[in-house]
């Protein structure tokens, strides 16, 4: 049969089929403005020869970005001013409040017992951690945070800060802040200079990292291992509204510090004191 011999109704059917096919093709191109065909399963075809396309960022590039990239941090206040001296007491916490703080940890030999005592009495404290200790005991960092304690920065390796150049100070503080942030999701907001030795560089760098400097009012000198009775007596004698008590949960044998906390904490509570922690706004 010749082409001009096709019945009229069949020619009408073919014209309709061609029109429908063209309309479908238009809709497919509109859905993909680039007009890029896809393989079965939705995968694009292999690129044609020519200049290579810009590579996407790989895992290495992601590690260079902050962990909080793309998501808001839980809390990140405005950078504090550069101080000329650290906070030595916190009188604004209330007439019955005082602060307990522990340095140099976390240490798996002593920190868990201190955390357990604080938990028993439902008390919050500040832990100023050294980065080299924190890096190997991240589970204890998480336990501190989960219990509501404040995790502060106590440098990486506990050096005498004024003897360091600015770059080394930044490394000491910055590396520790990074460990804390990677573990807890937020950076530390407070820091304490080892030996209580501050200088202008440490105040400037600490502020640039978003941290306020915290010293202490009452030094238990527990690191000298003076005996449990002596540590207890020093805390009870120095207790007053707004004072900051310095003890240690690492850096040596801290069994006296652990035993002393078990005695002076309930005694402070019985006298009406409320050990608490400062908050940044």
Cβ neighbour number for residue 123 with a 10 Å cutoff? 21
Q: State the catalytic residue, choosing from 149, 154, 248, 249.
A: 248
Closest to 103 in 3D by CA, of 221, 187, 212, 183: 221
In angstroms, rounded to a whole number, what is the distance separating the alpha carbons of residues 197 and 101? 17
103 noted as active-site residue: yes
Residue 124 CA to residue 277 CA, distance in Å, equals 6
How many angstroms separate the CA atoms of 233 and 220, rounded?
A: 9
The H or E element that residue 98 is part of is strand 97-103
Residue with token string 């007053």: 240
Tokens for 52?
């290579």
Asked whether the beta carbons of 238 and 89 are under 8 A apart, the reply is no
Beta-bridged to residue 212, according to DSSP, are 190
- Among this protein's residues, is 248 annotated catalytic? yes
Beta-sheet strands, E only, within 192-266: 212-213, 218-219, 244-248
**Which stretches within 98-147 are classed as H helix?**
111-120, 131-134, 138-146
Q: Which of 103, 104, 222, 249 is catalytic?
A: 103
Q: Any residues with CB less than 8 A from the CB of 125 and at least 6 apart, and which?
A: 99, 100, 101, 102, 118, 149, 150, 275, 277
Which residue do the tokens 């820091």 mark? 191
Active site residues: 103, 248
């Amino acid at each position: 049969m010749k082409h001009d011999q096709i019945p009229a109704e069949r020619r009408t059917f073919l014209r309709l089929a061609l029109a429908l096919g063209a309309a479908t093709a238009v809709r497919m191109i509109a859905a993909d403005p680039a007009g890029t065909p896809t393989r079965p399963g939705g995968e694009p075809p292999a690129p044609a020869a020519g200049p290579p396309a810009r590579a996407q960022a790989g895992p290495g590039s992601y590690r260079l970005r902050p962990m909080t990239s793309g998501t808001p941090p839980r809390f990140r206040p405005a950078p504090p001013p550069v101080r000329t001296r650290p906070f030595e007491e916190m009188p604004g916490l209330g007439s019955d409040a005082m602060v307990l703080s522990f340095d140099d940890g976390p240490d798996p030999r002593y920190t868990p017992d201190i955390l357990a005592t604080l938990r028993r009495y439902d008390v919050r404290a500040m832990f100023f951690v050294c980065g080299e200790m924190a890096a190997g005991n991240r589970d204890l960092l998480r336990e501190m945070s989960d219990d509501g304690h404040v995790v502060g920065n106590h440098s990486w390796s506990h050096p005498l800060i004024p003897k360091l150049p600015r770059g080394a100070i930044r490394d000491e503080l910055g590396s520790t802040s990074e460990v804390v942030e990677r573990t807890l999701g937020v950076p530390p907001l407070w820091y304490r200079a080892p030996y209580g030795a501050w200088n202008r560089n440490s105040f400037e760098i600490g502020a640039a990292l978003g941290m306020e400097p915290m010293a202490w009012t009452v030094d238990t000198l527990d690191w000298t291992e003076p005996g449990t009775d002596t540590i207890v007596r020093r805390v009870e004698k120095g207790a007053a509204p707004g004072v900051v008590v310095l003890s240690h949960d690492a850096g040596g044998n801290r069994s006296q510090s652990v035993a002393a906390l078990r005695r002076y904490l309930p005694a402070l509570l019985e006298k009406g004191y409320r050990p608490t922690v400062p908050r940044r706004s």
